[in-house]
Structure 1
């Protein structure tokens, strides 16, 4: 294996950064889900369960980013889009600005995965 092949196999820092953000997002979702589960109403409890499930999905997607596959990159972008929509729904239900602030992480994930450094590694 020559130097060019070895450097092509090395995961870019942008991908590692995205993985860290995805894991952080997962922790936030799971913790928020458990903390908000005491809310009254069936819709709010269902939303809390969905928060926990989306957090688990974020862990799975972040773990898949270790392999350079275009489908893994697309899965992370789709999940980030779902997270953005989910944060808007959470804000509409609980009227907590913290949920809207949680949209920053998925936006960073999409931004970093669309950079040329990350795109070239996933191809």
Structure 2
């Protein structure tokens, strides 16, 4: 099952450190099968507030996503971004290809009825 690393970056300020981070991040992802799915795109806010931008990286599984974030190679560069761009980063498990929200709703209804 795929897993994702997501970053909500508030008010990104591009400077030399951030450019170096962007230049070096792909090499930290490659050993773990990480691939950008969204990177710095403009967001279209439909509900709520969302200052900034979003980054989404897909990994083959949760273990590799965690291993990438904790890797010495990524930890060596992460401060180049975090010193200049506030935000939140998280790792989350994806859903199986056959995922159907109706099954989730059914399980939630069953639990609520207990």
TM-score by length of structure 1 reads 0.32
* Structure holding more strand per residue: 2
TM-score by length of structure 2 reads 0.34
Q: Which has the higher relative contact order, 1 or 2, with Cα contacts under 8 A spaced 6 or more apart? A: 2
* Structure holding more helix per residue: 1
